[in-house]
């Protein structure tokens, strides 16, 4: 993979934090898409005060920067799909208010349950209603885009309008082929990226705090040549055409 421009210090620091807390790990992992990956990003482990502060600050900064560059773009609700999106939407909403209270002080958050609750207040959703609201999805990782598509369906079913997506890591993989979806593995054909496809299909910005390219660059800077080699091999197998 070609080296992107030099990594900003805040990205190198975030990658170091992810490594030291085993959020970024190496081995053999079966993904939601059934692809077998030599690396894994477990955002469930941003579970200490300084870690959740670091990642929520990074999401908030990216959203704020995009909104500043695109002044007509704004949103009402951060929607965090269950499960890993749940702490992310709550903590990032708080960081947005800290960054600019006038602009973001009324941003709300919301998340779904994986199983519909049948007592008490009942239902699928927790937090702000999505009806008639401009909604940004905040999630951990995008690989084949299945989780994001499920989240988009929930927003639609709740009467919300999707206006953007942000993830912590874009794994820069190609969209799954029909044979992969049918459980027969990748057919090796050239295809576009998941993130590009989602952007095109839904016509919204798709932001990522870090990409696979950033992870590789950060690891290279730390002399982790062996891991970089395995990640590049995996990238060659699933790299998108664009």
Ligand X SMILES: O=P(O)(O)OC[C@H]1O[C@H](OP(=O)(O)OP(=O)(O)O)[C@H](O)[C@@H]1O
Ligand Y SMILES: O=C(O)c1cc(=O)[nH]c(=O)[nH]1
Q: Which does 41 bind (CB under 5 to 8 A by kind): ligand X, ligand Y, none?
A: ligand Y
45 in Cβ contact with 240 (< 8 Å): no
Q: Is residue 217 a contact point for ligand X (CB under 6 A)?
A: no
Q: Which among 18-26, 98-106, 138-146, 230-238 is the span making contact with ligand X, rule CB under 6 A?
A: 138-146
Nearer to ligand X, 7 or 24 (CB): 24
Stretch that binds ligand X, among 134-142, 157-165, 183-191, 222-230 (CB under 6 A): 134-142
Residue 139: contacted member of ligand X, ligand Y, none (CB under 5 to 8 Å, by partner type)? ligand X
Q: Which of 117, 131, 133, 174 is catalytic?
A: 117
Distance between start and end Cα atoms, the chain: 13
Task: Please say whether the beta carbons of 217 and 4 come within 8 A.
Answer: yes
For the question of residue 119 being annotated catalytic, the response is: yes
d(CA 142, CA 174): 11
Are the C-beta atoms of 36 and 30 separated by less than 8 Å?
Answer: yes
Residue 227 is a binding residue for ligand X (CB under 6 A): no
As a whole number of angstroms, the distance between CA 45 and CA 66 comes to: 27
Backbone φ/ψ region at 15: left (φ over 0), alpha (ψ -120 to 50), beta: alpha
Q: Measure the CA–CA gap between 16 and 69, rounded to whole angstroms.
A: 28
50, 114, 119, 131: the active-site residue: 119
Residue 145: which of ligand X, ligand Y, none does it interact with, CB under 5 to 8 A by kind?
A: ligand X
- Tokens 């709740």 correspond to 158
Does the annotation count 34 as an active-site position?
no
Choose which of 76, 140, 170, 197 interacts with ligand X (CB under 6 A): 140
Q: Does 144 bind ligand X (CB under 6 A)?
A: yes
Contact 39, 231 (CB under 8 A): yes
User: Which residues within the stretch 83-122 sit at the binding site for ligand X (CB under 6 A)?
Assistant: 83-84
Active-site positions? Answer: 117, 119
């Amino acid at each position: 993979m070609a080296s992107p421009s030099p990594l900003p210090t805040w990205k190198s620091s975030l990658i170091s934090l992810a490594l030291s807390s085993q959020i970024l790990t190496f081995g053999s992992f079966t993904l939601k898409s059934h692809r077998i990956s030599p690396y894994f990003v477990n955002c469930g482990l941003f579970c200490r005060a300084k870690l959740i502060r670091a990642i929520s600050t990074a999401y908030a900064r990216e959203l704020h920067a995009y909104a500043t560059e695109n002044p007509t773009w704004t949103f009402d609700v951060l929607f965090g799909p269950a499960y890993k999106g749940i702490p992310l939407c709550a903590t990032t909403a708080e960081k947005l208010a800290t960054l600019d209270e006038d602009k973001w002080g009324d941003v709300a958050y919301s998340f779904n349950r994986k199983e519909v609750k049948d007592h008490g207040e009942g239902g699928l959703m927790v937090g702000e209603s999505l009806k008639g609201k401009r909604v940004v999805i905040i999630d951990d990782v995008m690989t084949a885009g299945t989780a994001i598509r499920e989240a988009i369906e929930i927003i639609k079913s709740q009467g919300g309008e999707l206006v953007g997506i942000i993830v912590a890591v874009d794994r820069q993989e190609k969209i799954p082929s029909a044979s992969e979806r049918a459980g027969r593995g990748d057919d090796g054909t050239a295809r576009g990226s998941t993130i590009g496809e989602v952007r095109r299909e839904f016509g919204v910005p798709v932001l990522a705090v870090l990409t696979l390219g950033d992870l590789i660059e950060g690891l290279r800077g730390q002399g982790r040549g062996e891991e970089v080699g395995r990640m590049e091999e995996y990238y060659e197998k699933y790299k998108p055409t664009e």
